[in-house]
Amino acid sequence: MDRLNRDAVIAIVLLVFCGVFFWATFDIRQPDYGVLMPSTWPRVVLGVLSFLSVIYLVQSLRQGSEETEPEDTAREPGIRGWVLYWRNPLWCFGLFFVYLATLPVLGMLIGGVSFVFVLLNVLGGWDRKNLMLHAAVALVAIGGMWSLFTFGLGVLLPPGMILGYF
């Protein structure tokens, strides 16, 4: 997708986003008191954002294909190429999502150590030498931080069902 299309698509997405949020401002309850209604400021911001999005859209359409995104030569075309190119950030997002989703069960200590250990292996490779190193790094780093917050700063971090059982 060249820059023209990409920027225009982003501008349209922004306009749709503004529309949805503007619609949602009608759900905000208006009290009988106060001069500035709770919906006024969001509407002002949405108005400005919509106006800027229109300018962005016009700019991207007028630019045409003059200014195109420099292509990364190492990137394969197609969805497979896109996934391969962005695989590390995608893994990070995906694993963090799993970490949060399993937090009630695993808790912050087990979940955190597991998250860092798996992420280290995904990013650095799964060979035997790395496996030991990554396990040690995850355990020391997250275990140390968990201990510091729990025992040093007195912060109650989520124990999860497993640790909670003990």
Residues in contact with other proteins by CB under 8 A are 6, 10, 14, 21, 24-25, 28-31, 33-36, 38-39, 41-42, 45-46, 48-49, 52-53, 55-56, 59, 86-89, 92-93, 96-97, 99-100, 103, 108, 112, 115-116, 119-120, 123-125, 137-138, 141-142, 145-146, 148-149, 153-158
Closer residue to other proteins (CB): 4 or 108: 108
Closer residue to other proteins (CB): 59 or 78: 59
Quote the least distance from Cβ 31 to other proteins, whole Å.
5
Measure CA of the first residue to CA of the last residue in the chain; give whole Å: 54
Quote the least distance from Cβ 166 to other proteins, whole Å.
20
DSSP 74: T
Pick left, alpha or beta for residue 64 (phi over 0 → left; psi -120 to 50 → alpha; otherwise beta): left
- Could you tell me where the beta strands, DSSP code E, fall in 16-105? none
**Do 91 and 39 contact (CB within 8 A), yes or no?**
no
Distance CA 153, CA 141 (A): 17
Q: What angle do CA 33, 39, 42 make, to 5 degrees?
A: 140
Closer residue to other proteins (CB): 70 or 77: 70
Quote the least distance from Cβ 42 to other proteins, whole Å.
5
Closer residue to other proteins (CB): 19 or 30: 30
Tokens representing residue 45 in the block = 């911001």
